Amino acid sequence: MAWDQSFDGECRALVERVVAGDRASWRTLLVKIAPRIEEWARGNRLLRRCRLAGDDDVRAVMVDVLERLASGEHANLKRFLARAEPDATPDELVTAVMKLGKLDEDEPRADDTAHTPLRAWLLRLVDFVARDHVRHRLGWTADASKREVQSDHVPLSAAPDIGVRPPLTDRLTIARLVAEIQDYIATFPDDMRHAVLLWLDDDAPEDIAIKLALVDAAKARALVRAAQARLRERFRGRSPLLFS
């Protein structure tokens, strides 16, 4: 069954009953949403780029999402009903990887969630949990300073378990890659550099055109695509993490 407006309404009604204390509704909700959460986790861009979309990692993300929905007497579901953002732990390096991963996209994903608010909210939660999972698996810490990230010192907590090969060497590898891409962007002509940085911050072409005093949105799109082409040419062969 597709997650359409009708299905979203059914699940939202269950959420309301769960928050009101109906345990049976919680079990019913789990049956409905658990397979969808697993599917979203398997297709999550950050997990795929960090080579963490295997069965074990996907199921770990799904379980973590469900646990967060259940914890604190369903505090996160209460946040949904209040239309508040899910709880999230920000991480500068993870966010940078997610933004730079967009460089391989010509257009934003066509994913209309305007009429399915619970689906949209759960997708956000899956994204947040995926970030935490990547940070945990690769040994990144939420409070790591730029000095730590860019130094050669890797904390003991980042060391892989004996006999287990991490999907990437460690967070240092990604930090260096991100820094190199950012340094290369800094060499672009001013309009191109500003345009691609605004695009990475999710500004629409129309907004980019206004902020940069360009003729129209088409000019903004052209600048962004020119920047993407330069980055693909420079990094695609060396950086499958961001161009996969």
Tokens standing for 133?
A: 């999972």
Stretch 222-241: mean pLDDT: 80
Confidence of residue 144 (pLDDT cuts 50, 70, 90): very low
Q: Where are the alpha helices (DSSP H) in 115-237?
A: 117-138, 146-150, 171-185, 190-200, 205-211, 217-235
Instruction: Report d(CA 10, CA 1) in Å as an integer.
Output: 12
- The reported pLDDT for the residue numbered 100 is 67
Q: What is the pLDDT of residues 6-24, one digit of tens each?
A: 999 999 999 999 999 999 9
Distance CA 194, CA 212 (A): 8
pLDDT at 93 over 50: yes
Give the separation between CA 100 and CA 200, rounded to whole angstroms. 7
- pLDDT of 239 > 90? The answer is no
pLDDT for the residue 55: 94
Residue-by-residue DSSP string for 7-67: HHHHHHHHHHHHHTT-HHHHHHHHHHHHHHHHHHHHT-HHHHHTT--SHHHHHHHHHHHHH
Please state the pTM of the whole predicted model. 0.62
Distance in angstroms (rounded) separating the CA atoms of residues 244 and 239: 8
